[in-house]
Chains A and B, each alone.
Chain A
Amino acid sequence: GESVGLHLPTLSVQEGDNSIINCAYSNSASDYFIWYKQESGKGPQFIIDIRSNMDKRQGQRVTVLLNKTVKHLSLQIAATQPGDSAVYFCAENEDTGFQKLVFGTGTRLLVSP
């Protein structure tokens, strides 16, 4: 469903630390999950995706973990950099006929030098 509220959860880390951003999804029937990064004033940018038949997928400095038992998704960013500062959204592909993409609330990541 649609996220509400004016205050995004925020994760503050130091440059070089590893970051873990969590997401609880709503639909146990969802088959596909995507993480997007959205910098201020820009559109969401695809980071990494994972299908429901997998529990882990790695990209460049990013790893997505999927736990279907508890309907939980996480994004791990290794060696976080100031350029990683943004809002991160998880999205699930919900089977409503055309398989609508449903976004989570979003988490703001702040990286200090």
Chain B
Amino acid sequence: DAMVIQNPRYQVTQFGKPVTLSCSQTLNHNVMYWYQQKSSQAPKLLFHYYDKDFNNEADTPDNFQSRRPNTSFCFLDIRSPGLGDAAMYLCATSRDLGLETQYFGPGTRLLVL
């Protein structure tokens, strides 16, 4: 089945220790998104890639970076995780920009010790 896959499902890191979360998709969609979701809140968009074009949300901290080496994969790098970065990180894809449905992966729950 075509899908959005996130690994790992749970990630524990130490305060200040860089961590990378990964996302892959078999949908061959052009757009990939990263969201942060804290407990009992709605997902918050961090950034998105349209093909190789990276678009950062204005309020996304510099601590968060992303890479998309090819159509299928996208990575979220947190350079120096703080306690406030503990959250669920969701990857999503859409076929194109515009009025398109976004399809979400299962998420990676990040714990910062």
Residues of A within 8 A of B (CB): 2-8, 31-32, 34, 36, 41-46, 49, 51, 89, 93, 98-101, 103-106
Residues of B within 8 A of A (CB): 4, 6, 39-45, 48, 50, 55, 90, 92, 97-99, 101-107, 109
| A51 B99 Cβ-Cβ under 8 A | yes
How far is the CB of B23 from the nearest CB of chain A, in Å? 11
Chain A interface SS verdict (over half): loop
Q: Which 3 A-B pairs have the closest CB atoms?
A: A103-B42, A43-B104, A3-B42
| A31 B99 Cβ-Cβ under 8 A | yes
A residues near B41, Cβ cutoff 8 Å: 2-5, 106
A residues near B107, Cβ cutoff 8 Å: 41-43
B residues near A46, Cβ cutoff 8 Å: 101-104
How far is the CB of A109 from the nearest CB of chain B, in Å? 14
| B104 A103 Cβ-Cβ under 8 A | no
